[in-house]
């Protein structure tokens, strides 16, 4: 968390430097530009000293006096950033939403999209893996990538999407296990298939496939069980769920009732074993 905030703060400093390096306007506006820049610099000093209340007042003053200036727009971004630092995520999101609507073509608008997504991301908790914050964070990071695939924030957004998707898959696995223990096999099948279809790169795929085999065997769905085992055999030969699948098809009840299918599946394993 601390590293993320340092990264965000450095990013903002870079934005400020770029903004201040723009060409001066006409000489008749030079005095006004200078005063807004001076006030902005003072506000940034307050922010750097974590005097958020004073910084907020100065940024608001800039917005009131110079609403159409570059410093005015940057001040609006900074107000959202201060809310983020103070853990007022809903307020930050509201401000970033407003900036996106009013200044959709601003040169730093990709940063605003990123900060909005991060504000949702920070609200994700262990008990809320598949809740609103998780879903909104995923949607907003994806929107950033769709709109600005070459943005400097794209790499971090992709990494956070991987984390979010794993969280969602983990929650689905947890719910599926609950259904399986309650012998609600169709409900469990739905959850495991959801993990496989929605998160094909997830680390939970081998286990989800194994659980499908387990359920298909219980339900007597021979062909489906064979297909699921084949996927494990050919795609995840080093997974622990490969070994568990092998054990599963050797259980006594399966030997007695599904001998034909057992032979077919065992042949799949034998074909996959290295020859001496």
The domain ranges of the chain are: 38-167, 170-272
**CATH classification of 170-272, choosing from 1.25.40.10, 3.30.70.2740, 3.40.50.10490, 3.50.30.50?**
1.25.40.10
pLDDT (0 to 100) of residue 251: 64
Q: Where are the alpha helices (DSSP H) in the chain?
A: 2-20, 30-48, 52-65, 70-85, 89-102, 109-121, 132-147, 154-181, 185-198, 205-219, 222-235, 240-248, 252-257, 259-272
pLDDT (0 to 100) of residue 8: 60
pLDDT (0 to 100) of residue 269: 66
Judge whether 38-167 and 170-272 match in fold: yes
Rounded to two decimals, the pTM is 0.73
pLDDT (0 to 100) of residue 234: 87
At residue 273, φ and ψ (nearest 5 deg) are: -80, 140
Q: Phi-psi region for residue 192, left (φ > 0), alpha (ψ -120 to 50) or beta?
A: alpha
Give the mean pLDDT per block of 10 residues along the chain (276 residues). Answer: 53 53 47 71 90 92 89 94 95 96 93 96 69 88 96 96 91 93 94 94 94 91 87 89 79 53 62 58
Fold of 38-167: 1.25.40
pLDDT (0 to 100) of residue 67: 87
């Amino acid at each position: 968390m601390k590293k993320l905030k340092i990264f965000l703060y450095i990013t903002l400093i870079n934005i400020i430097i770029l903004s201040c390096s723009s060409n001066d306007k006409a000489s008749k506006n030079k005095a006004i530009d200078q005063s807004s820049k001076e006030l902005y610099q003072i506000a940034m000093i307050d922010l750097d000293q974590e005097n958020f209340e004073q910084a907020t007042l100065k940024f608001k003053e800039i917005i009131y006096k110079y609403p159409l200036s570059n410093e005015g727009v940057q001040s609006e971004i900074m107000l959202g950033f201060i809310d983020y630092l103070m853990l007022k995520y809903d307020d930050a999101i509201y401000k970033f939403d407003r900036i996106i609507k009013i200044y959709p073509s601003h040169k730093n608008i990709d940063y605003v999209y990123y900060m909005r997504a991060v504000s949702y991301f920070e609200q994700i908790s262990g008990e809320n893996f598949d809740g609103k914050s998780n879903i909104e964070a995923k949607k907003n990071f994806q929107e950033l990538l769709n709109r600005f695939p070459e943005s400097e924030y794209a790499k971090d957004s992709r990494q956070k999407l991987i984390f979010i998707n794993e969280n969602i898959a983990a929650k689905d696995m947890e719910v599926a296990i609950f259904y399986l223990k309650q012998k609600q096999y169709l409900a469990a099948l739905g959850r495991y298939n959801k993990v496989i279809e929605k998160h094909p790169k997830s680390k939970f795929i081998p286990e989800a496939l194994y659980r499908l085999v387990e359920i298909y065997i219980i339900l007597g769905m021979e062909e489906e069980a064979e297909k699921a085992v084949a996927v494990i055999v050919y795609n995840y030969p080093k997974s622990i769920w490969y070994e568990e699948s092998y054990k599963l098809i050797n259980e006594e009840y399966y030997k007695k009732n599904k001998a034909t299918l057992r032979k077919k599946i065992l042949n799949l394993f034998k074909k996959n074993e290295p020859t001496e």
